[in-house]
Amino acid sequence: MLQSPSYLIVGAGYLGGALARALVQSSQAATVLRRRAEPIEGAQLIQADLARPETLKDLPLCTHLVYAAAADSSSEAAYRSIYVDGLRNILQALELRGCTPRVFYTSSTSVYAADDGSEVDERSGIIAQKGLGAIIAEGERWLLAGPWTTTIVRFGGIYGPQRTYFLRRVWERKEVLFEGPPLYTNRIHQADCVGMLMHLMGDKGLKGGIYNGVDCDAADRNSVIRWMAEELGIPIEELSVSADRSLVSHRGQKRVLNQKILATGYRYFFPTFREGYRALLSEVKPSSSPA
């Protein structure tokens, strides 16, 4: 019987890798499973392929499984391979070893079907019935029907160090302001993704449950762009304005609420996009203006 917490992180990319480093820094026993032989200092590495069950035979026993694997493309086949089949393969492999860990599944706010700017929370029953969000939701349902104590965190758009695409597009004058009603965004800084998981892996998440992993401001996209432009010293008239709203994805057309995670006592490092992106301005804005 395992006497102390041990963590198996499946998928050690932008989120899983950051979580592994945080666990190591807090002197926790962490193992990462990834397809590539790229170690994380202080963590044990297992090289395996979730799509090939034969590579999952020698998994270590663990008290906590964090499923942070991500699809390598936006095709439905790639999503099903990771969020349904791969999930089943890893848990069935652990079950064969007699291991029933607490499970933490990094899901997505794309499981919510709303696309009209309405507010949604964890009680919202309207879940995507088609597309990529529906595949992620299928993985959720399978987990919740199983024997594991399961915690699901539905993350919004994750940004942070080395992930500044939106901010960089504003700096390069490539972002567009759209006419018409607000287009909402739901975002979260990488540090808060890790902080939230660490928080829930403690006694706050003992009973499992579903939580929204977004910050405290589901802001209008235009407001975010205008704020970024001001912080970067860009005259707003240098950005294009368009009435063609088909140029932006409608997957974000909802306001995702985070009261449930706040009620557990979690406190954000970056409560809104303002604090989060302000910490990243130096990654984007060089000492001299672009040509």
CATH number at residue 34: 3.40.50.720
The pair of structure tokens assigned to 148 is: 């594991």
Residue among 54, 133, 128 at smallest CA distance from 96: 54
Cβ-Cβ contacts under 8 Å for 122 (sequence gap 6 or more): 154, 209, 210, 211, 212, 260
Q: What is the pLDDT of residue 139?
A: 96
Evaluate whether residue 57 is within a structural domain: yes
pLDDT, one tens digit per residue, over 45-96 is 999 999 999 999 989 999 999 999 999 999 999 999 999 999 999 999 999 9
| Percentage of residues of the chain with pLDDT beyond 70 | 95
Structural domain range at position 144:
6-163+189-214+255-270
DSSP tag of 233: T
pLDDT of residue 1: 47
Six-digit token pair at 20?
A: 């592994």
**Three-state secondary-structure class, residue 275:** helix
Provide the total of helices (H) and of strands (E) in the chain, helices listed first. Answer: 10, 13
Q: How many domains does the chain have?
A: 1
Is 80 a member of any domain? Answer: yes
How many other CB atoms are found less than 10 A from the CB of residue 194? 21
Helical pair 132-144 and 87-96, crossing angle rounded to 10 deg: 20
Rounded to an integer, the average pLDDT of 38-42 is 91
pLDDT > 90 in the chain, percent: 81
The encoded tokens of residue 235 equal 């005259």
Q: How confident is the model at residue 252 (pLDDT cuts 50, 70, 90)?
A: low
In the predicted structure, residue 291 carries a pLDDT above the cut 50: no
Do the domain assignments include residue 227?
A: no
- Per-residue burial over 135-155, b = 16 or more CB atoms within 10 Å of its CB, e = otherwise: bbbbbbebbeeeebbbbbbbb
Quote the pLDDT of residue 127: 86
Domain assignment present for 281: no
pLDDT value, residue 287: 58
Q: What is the mean pLDDT of residues 15-24?
A: 97
Q: Is residue 178 part of a domain?
A: no
